[in-house]
Amino acid sequence: MTLDKSWYTEEWAGQGSAISLKIKNKVHDERSAYQRIEIYETETFGTLMTLDGLVMVTDRDNFIYHEMMSHPALFTHPDPKRVLVIGGGDCGTLNEVLKHPGVELAEQVELDERVTRVAEQFFPELCASNNDPRARLRFADGIQWVADAKPGSYDVIIVDSTDPVGPAAGLFSETFYQNCLRALAPRGVVVGQSESPLFHPDLIRSMHRALRAAGFREVATLNFPQCTYPSGWWSATMAARDTALSKFRQADKRFPTRYYNQEIHAAALARPEFMRQL
């Protein structure tokens, strides 16, 4: 599996644009029961994982996404102890969640066990906390998992999904959010990756509607750069049962991060004019 000096390209359907990364080698290629999983060594972005040809993780920039998927929600909740990650099979989000000393249980429910096994091999630093006694790795359908969860089981639910097509589409629906609301304890917070503000404003709008219709009191979108995802600009949308999303525990971070801090948290919540109008 050697592709010398060529480029990996993800074309963004309907957007007339794409991202390319210069690759040194393809080091893994398999078809799991759910999708095609490929791993490349790139020239300047370290290791790259794609699922069905779409960029999921690179060594160089995944810290931004994983920190923004976890810390804003965890610092918004006053005292998160039980955290559920849906998807997130590369374990990068789980790894960030486990940095919070107050977390007692971090349960990850990924559909495709092969994604995690491949990540353990090629992204060991993302999987560094997989043996933490607080971590539980489950391989199951996250939609069903949340539907079956006992009411009030979790303080924070993080939906680290692929794009809203195929098996992930149900993770953006009102029914799923109703089940999240039920599975959350009082003061619970849910956050889901919500695509590009520039390319997918309709998705962000429909997520806000669905979360409110499901009964969440407050909904807010966080923006952050993610240079290897469509448009290079990404978002996560948070919703709370009853906590104020604009308030968060300041100066409470006692572990290192590379992107997230209090100023970034506040700045990520700021809404550009066109998003305000959504």
Binding-site residue numbers for S-methyl-5'-thioadenosine are: 35, 110, 141-142, 167
Query: In the complex with ligand AG3, which residue's Cβ is closer, 75 or 229?
Result: 229
Q: Which residues are annotated as a binding site for spermidine?
A: 66, 90, 160-163
- The site for ligand AG3 (CB under 6 A) is made up of 10, 54-57, 88, 90, 92-93, 160, 162-163, 193, 229-230
CB 258: neighbour CB atoms within 10 A?
A: 9
Q: What's the closest the beta carbon of residue 57 comes to ligand AG3, in angstroms?
A: 5
Q: What's the closest the beta carbon of residue 215 comes to ligand AG3, in angstroms?
A: 26
Indicate which residues carry an active-site annotation: 160
Query: In the complex with ligand AG3, which residue's Cβ is closer, 92 or 188?
Result: 92
Q: What's the closest the beta carbon of residue 78 comes to ligand AG3, in angstroms?
A: 26
Q: What's the closest the beta carbon of residue 228 comes to ligand AG3, in angstroms?
A: 7
Q: Which residues are annotated as a binding site?
A: 35, 66, 90, 110, 141-142, 160-163, 167
Written as one string, the DSSP assignment of the chain is ---TTEEEEEEETTTTEEEEEEEEEEEEEEE-SS-EEEEEEESSS-EEEEETTEEEEETTTHHHHHHHHHHHHHHHSSS--EEEEEE-TT-HHHHHHTT-TT--EEEEEES-HHHHHHHHHH-TTTTTTTTSTTEEEEES-HHHHHHHSPTT-EEEEEEE---SSGGGGGGGSHHHHHHHHHHEEEEEEEEEE---TTT-HHHHHHHHHHHHHHT-SEEEEEEEE-TTSGGGEEEEEEEESSS-TT---TT---S--SS--HHHHHHHH---HHHHT-
Q: What's the closest the beta carbon of residue 13 comes to ligand AG3, in angstroms?
A: 9
Cβ(35)–Cβ(51) under 8 Å? yes
Query: In the complex with ligand AG3, which residue's Cβ is closer, 93 or 153?
Result: 93
Query: In the complex with ligand AG3, which residue's Cβ is closer, 55 or 245?
Result: 55
Cβ(263)–Cβ(257) under 8 Å? no
In one letter, which amino acid is 194?
A: S
Cβ(43)–Cβ(55) under 8 Å? no
Query: In the complex with ligand AG3, which residue's Cβ is closer, 179 or 193?
Result: 193
